[in-house]
Homo-oligomer: A and B are copies of this chain.
Amino acid sequence: MTNQYFIIFSALGSICALLFAVFMARRALSFSEGTDRMKKIASFIRQGANAYLRRQYSVVLVFFGCMFAVLCLMAALGFLTWFVPFAFITGGFFSGLSGFVGMKIATASNSRTANACRESLNSGLQVAFSAGTVMGFTVVGLGLLDISGWYLLLKYVFGLPLNDITAAMLTFGMGASSMALFARVGGGIFTKAADVGADLVGKVEAGIPEDDPRNPAAIADNVGDNVGDVAGMGADLYESYVGSLISSCSLGVIAFGYIESVDNLSAFAVPMLIAAVGVVASIIGSLLVRTGESTDQMNLLRALRRGTNTSAVIIAVAAFPIVWFLLGSSYIGLYVAILAGLFSGVLIGRFTEYYTSDTYVPTQNLAASSVTGTATLVIDGLSLGMRSTMLPVLTVSGCILIAYYVSGLGLEEAARNAMGLYGIALAAVGMLSTLGITLATDAYGPVADNAGGIAQMSGLDPVVRERTDALDSLGNTTAATGKGFAIGSAALTALALIASYVEKVETLAPEMALDMSVMNPVVLVGIFVGACLAFIFAAITMGSVGKAAHSVVLEVRRQFKEIPGIIEGTADADFARCVDLCTRASLKEMVVPTLIAVGVPIVGGLLLGPAGVIGLLCGATASGFLLAVFMSNSGGSWDNAKKYVESGHYGGKGSKNDKSAIVGDTIGDPFKDTSGPAINILIKLLSMVSIVFATVVVNFHIFG
């Protein structure tokens, strides 16, 4: 069979993606940075972001060093192969690199976007979207590169059999997830601490507008967008992308191990080829994104949708021959699974939009509840977020059932089950196949947001701010869609990883008769503890934002008091100090959540055994999925309800109702930008850690 050449295609896909990223980066950088004042502000932001990342990486390095030592020790003791520690490191490295590249281009493009907006809305969109595209394709390109590289190394240099290759690959997922969690949590705390601090003192107490150069936390706020929404998201989605690919490769190899007539290398090839085709589809889609001069939301949205929809259609068409020729017509059910994933991703994105955009009833009603005060606004916002979990849960549930049953049709039991799980993993791959472009539409938002800040701080013509606002506002909608994809794929990938864990345990200890019944008390207790873990994680990250914001508030108040002339505009605020404060606070706070995520599955496993771990992973996935949707949507809706009020409804900007809406927005900040997205990573990291430490847990555990 010629299917072993698939790796050439996926490597080619990776190179295409990276070249396209370079091309788009050059395009973005070809624009002018604008006036001296703009350059100066942009350089402040750049320096702050660089300084943050440098220090973040040094903390992360310590963690990775320790974990590397632990993994080497385990390898020396024979619990792991020697590839694992190195795979772990590369996963972390590439995840970090994805975020770093994204942040670099974003901080280089913000002033260029602002400057382009002086010319026209379309130019602004071109610059910002190019920057977003760079990140999208860097993530995809590095992801494919990592997997292809390891495949080539393990197969052709070390000559490992396919099963061992996929097993080793799962472990670099753990590296990627750990890095992603650091980036998301650290960046998320930074950005929201700065944002909350800037808003509370600047807007509410001192009464100066957002992004005002007099606000000492204004630069920190803009730095936060880059380190949280850009670098954090890059690392996060690298992890999602790689996680979905390696879990499906691994489950595919197992499933087609039952099938005599098909080489199981083909099952490995399918997700890789779909990813490669996804690169091409995303490039085509990206090139279609352009707009006219109307700042009308729908117009801009249509421009982006044209790109994403075209890509999705290309994938939907191209996946058919891939499945058909590689696996044969008997397994065409797997194509349906891919479609189900692709379609579910779009659906969840739409639901997210429905609940969070102020063009729909839920957020408009939420804005209306500001009339009866802050308390009712908060109650209704929480209620909205909880209610909004229903449709995504039903969609993911439907997707799971369809993918599982259609994939396994006509097979006998053991094979049917394995094929069904492969189908679920492929659904996640389908959902993320267009990541290149969906991430581009998501990542351009923070660039536009920064551009607005620079426009404001440089005193540009108000029409520039209007244009950047139009871009930014659209960014909120696409961010909602992006979050939908991230959450939906996280749930499916987590399930695929749990299945991989089960497989691993059964391979390690076939004699153990793993009882995964929910009536087995260790499974049940595992479910309780796992579900609780997501709550604890949300609590800690929220609490961290609160603590960090508190210190920013005090610092900003101090500067207003101690540095005379700030408010009058005659003296410069000490921006660097606020940036430094946020950096220190967020780095301090990001360690505990990561240790919990790594520690609990190990400790839980040693206590409750493998069956307990499986319960724990299921519980964490279910409750994590719900909390992530709930928190993201509550937060998004409060944000847009505030915008809706400030655009002239229910009293408009500065009214009593607006004050309530601002409080809602502030509460929503850590919800949607810190805790919610971090939980997505958590649920996968838990599974990855469990897989890597499975040997230890299987050999030493108390109950179960």
Which of the segments A136-144, A339-347, A520-528 contacts the partner chain?
Answer: A520-528
Task: Please determine whether A543 and B387 come into contact, CB atoms closer than 8 angstroms.
Answer: yes
A152 at the interface (CB under 8 A from B): no
Q: Which of B378, B424, B549 contacts A376 (CB 8 A)?
A: B549
Min Cβ gap A399→B in Å is 10
Q: Which of B387, B538, B543 contacts A380 (CB 8 A)?
A: B543
Which of the segments A457-465, A571-579, A611-619, A646-654 contacts the partner chain?
Answer: A611-619
A516 at the interface (CB under 8 A from B): yes
* Complex: chain B residue closest to A624, CB-CB: B531
User: Beyond A396-B528, A549-B376, is A618–B518 a contact (Cβ under 8 Å)?
Assistant: yes
Min Cβ gap A137→B in Å is 33
A173 at the interface (CB under 8 A from B): no
A106 at the interface (CB under 8 A from B): no
Q: How far is it, in angstroms, between the C-alpha of A517 and the C-alpha of B502 when the chains are bound?
A: 11
- Among A383, A400, A540, A630, the most chain B Cβ lie within 10 Å of the Cβ of A383
* B-facing residues in A366-408 (Cβ within 8 Å): 369, 372-376, 378-380, 382-387, 389-390, 393-394, 396-397, 400-401, 404-405
Q: How far is it, in angstroms, between the C-alpha of A524 and the C-alpha of B502 when the chains are bound?
A: 14
Which of the segments A120-128, A286-294, A303-311, A662-670 contacts the partner chain?
Answer: A662-670
Q: Which of B387, B424, B518, B667 contacts A536 (CB 8 A)?
A: B387
Q: Which of B389, B396, B663 contacts A374 (CB 8 A)?
A: B663
Q: Which of B394, B401, B540 contacts A703 (CB 8 A)?
A: B401
Task: Please determine whether B379 and A667 come into contact, CB atoms closer than 8 angstroms.
Answer: yes
User: Beyond A373-B204, A525-B401, is A622–B625 a contact (Cβ under 8 Å)?
Assistant: no
Task: Please determine whether B200 and A372 come into contact, CB atoms closer than 8 angstroms.
Answer: yes
Q: How far is it, in angstroms, between the C-alpha of A546 and the C-alpha of B394 when the chains are bound?
A: 26
* Per-residue interface assignment for chain A, residues 408 to 446, with 1 indicating a CB less than 8 Å from any chain B CB and 0 otherwise: 000000000100110010000000000000000000000
Q: How far is it, in angstroms, between the C-alpha of A626 and the C-alpha of B619 when the chains are bound?
A: 11
A535 at the interface (CB under 8 A from B): yes
Task: Please determine whether A550 and B372 come into contact, CB atoms closer than 8 angstroms.
Answer: yes
Task: Please determine whether B379 and A545 come into contact, CB atoms closer than 8 angstroms.
Answer: yes
Q: How far is it, in angstroms, between the C-alpha of A400 and the C-alpha of B608 when the chains are bound?
A: 12
Q: Which of B421, B529, B618, B663 contacts A394 (CB 8 A)?
A: B529
A632 at the interface (CB under 8 A from B): no
Q: Which residues of B contact A546 (CB under 8 A)?
A: 369, 376, 379-380, 383
A76 at the interface (CB under 8 A from B): no
A519 at the interface (CB under 8 A from B): yes
Task: Please determine whether B525 and A383 come into contact, CB atoms closer than 8 angstroms.
Answer: no
Q: Which of B196, B385, B532 contacts A626 (CB 8 A)?
A: B532
Q: Which residues of B contact A401 (CB under 8 A)?
A: 521-522, 525, 703
A489 at the interface (CB under 8 A from B): no
* Complex: chain B residue closest to A704, CB-CB: B401
Task: Please determine whether B667 and A386 come into contact, CB atoms closer than 8 angstroms.
Answer: no
A623 at the interface (CB under 8 A from B): yes
A542 at the interface (CB under 8 A from B): yes
Q: Which of B499, B525, B614, B630 contacts A397 (CB 8 A)?
A: B525
* Per-residue interface assignment for chain A, residues 233 to 271, with 1 indicating a CB less than 8 Å from any chain B CB and 0 otherwise: 000000000000000000000000000000000000000
Q: Which of B518, B532, B542 contacts A523 (CB 8 A)?
A: B518
Q: Which residues of B contact A338 (CB under 8 A)?
A: none
A8 at the interface (CB under 8 A from B): no
Number of interface residues of A (CB under 8 A): 77
* Complex: chain B residue closest to A538, CB-CB: B386
Min Cβ gap A423→B in Å is 10
A508 at the interface (CB under 8 A from B): no
Q: Which of B417, B522, B622 contacts A623 (CB 8 A)?
A: B622
Min Cβ gap A188→B in Å is 13
A553 at the interface (CB under 8 A from B): yes
Q: Which residues of B contact A400 (CB under 8 A)?
A: 521, 524-525, 528
Task: Please determine whether A618 and B376 come into contact, CB atoms closer than 8 angstroms.
Answer: no
Q: Which of B372, B383, B536, B615 contacts A386 (CB 8 A)?
A: B536
A327 at the interface (CB under 8 A from B): no
Q: Which of B380, B495, B529 contacts A524 (CB 8 A)?
A: B495
Min Cβ gap A497→B in Å is 12
Task: Please determine whether B528 and A393 come into contact, CB atoms closer than 8 angstroms.
Answer: yes
A51 at the interface (CB under 8 A from B): no
Q: Which residues of B contact A630 (CB under 8 A)?
A: 535
* Complex: chain B residue closest to A539, CB-CB: B386
6 closest A-B pairs by beta carbon, nearest first, are A386-B539, A375-B666, A387-B539, A516-B517, A383-B543, A393-B532
Chain A interfacial positions (CB closer than 8 Å to B): 196, 200, 204, 369, 372-376, 378-380, 382-387, 389-390, 393-394, 396-397, 400-401, 404-405, 417, 420-421, 424, 491, 495, 498-499, 502, 516-519, 521-525, 527-529, 531-532, 535-536, 538-540, 542-543, 545-546, 549-550, 553, 614-615, 618-619, 622-623, 625-626, 630, 663, 666-667, 670, 703
Given contacts A397-B529, A400-B521, 4 further A-B pairs with CB under 8 A are A378-B663, A387-B543, A516-B517, A519-B614
5 contacts between A and B (CB under 8 A): A372-B553, A383-B542, A393-B528, A527-B527, A623-B626
